[in-house]
Amino acid sequence: MADIPTFKLSDGNDIPSLGFGTFQIPADGSTYDAVKMALKLGYRHIDTAVAYFNEQEVGKAVKDSGIPRDQIWITSKIWLQDHKYEDAKKAINLSLKKLDTDYIDLYLIHQPYGAVDEAWQAMEEAQKAGKIRSIGVSNMSVKIWNNFVPKFATKPVINQVQFNPYYQEKEIRKVMAENHCTLEAYSPLGTGNKDLLNEPILTTMAEKYGKNTGQIILRFIHQEGVIVFPKSVHEARIKSNMEIFDFELTSDEMDAIRGLNKGESGHDSDAPGMGEMLMKAYDVHAND
C-alpha cells in the first residue's frame, strides 16, 4: 500500500494530500465504521465538522484504530451559530471533547458569515494554546475573502471549497496563491454528476491508464496541488479512491481536463441571504 503524499502548508505543517470526507454520513454507527475502515485501508486524514454531527464517532474510530494520534490528521469546522468570540471558544473545546483528543490538526470557519472576525480570534488563540495546529476557512469567495482576511492577524492556510473539473475556482485560486493558502476540494467527483463521470476526455484517459473516471479526476486534482477528500461508505470505493498515486497525467492531459471548466458551482457563497439561510439550517447545540 503506497503512502499518501503530503503537501506543506504555509504554517510549516505537512497535511496528507488525500483524505476521507464524512459529510452526510450519519452518526448511527455508520461514521464510526466508515472511518475505521478508511484508517485500516491507509487513510491518515479525516474531515469532519460540528454541523456534520458525527465528531464523536470520528474520535472514537481514531481512538479504536490503534494508530498513534500523531499519525492521523483530523479536520473539523466551527458552525456559524458559534461565531461570537465566547461561543467560539466553547465550540472549540466542545469539538476537542467530542473528538476525544488534545488537539485538532486543522480547524476551519465552515461558513464565512456573521462574526467571522470573532471566531477567527478565538481560533488564533486556540492555535497559540496548542489546541489547534492549523487554522483556515471554507466556502470563501473572492468577495468574502477580501472582506475578512486582510484584517486577520494570521492568514488562513486552507480554503475548503467545492472543486472538480467542471468548477475549478480560478478566481479565488489567484487570491489564495498570493496569500500562500492551499485549496481543499469538497465534492471532487461532482457529487456523482453523471455528465462529469461520462466525459469522453476522462473516460479515454481512464481506459489508457486502467483506472476509473473517478480516479482520473482525483489524480487531476492532486496534480493541481489541491487537497482532496472523496466520501464513500463502500469499502471497494474507499479503497479505489486511494489508488491514484501509481500513475501521472501528462501536461497535455492536465490541460485537456482544465478545459472542462464551466465556471459554475452548486454553492454560491455570495448569494443574497446565504448566511441567514444557513443559520436556520442547523441547530448544532440541539442535543448538547
- Number of CB atoms found within 10 A of residue 268's CB: 12
**Nearest C-alpha neighbor of 186 from the set 205, 164, 162:** 162
Percentages of the chain per state (helix, strand, coil), in multiples of 5: 45, 15, 40
At 98, is the secondary structure helix, strand, or coil?
Answer: helix
Among 52, 166, 167, 186, which one carries the catalytic annotation?
52
43 among known catalytic residues: no
Separation of alpha carbons 163 and 226, rounded Å: 9
**Nearest C-alpha neighbor of 155 from the set 13, 10, 47, 269:** 10
Separation of alpha carbons 177 and 161, rounded Å: 15
Separation of alpha carbons 100 and 83, rounded Å: 22
Catalytically annotated residues: 52
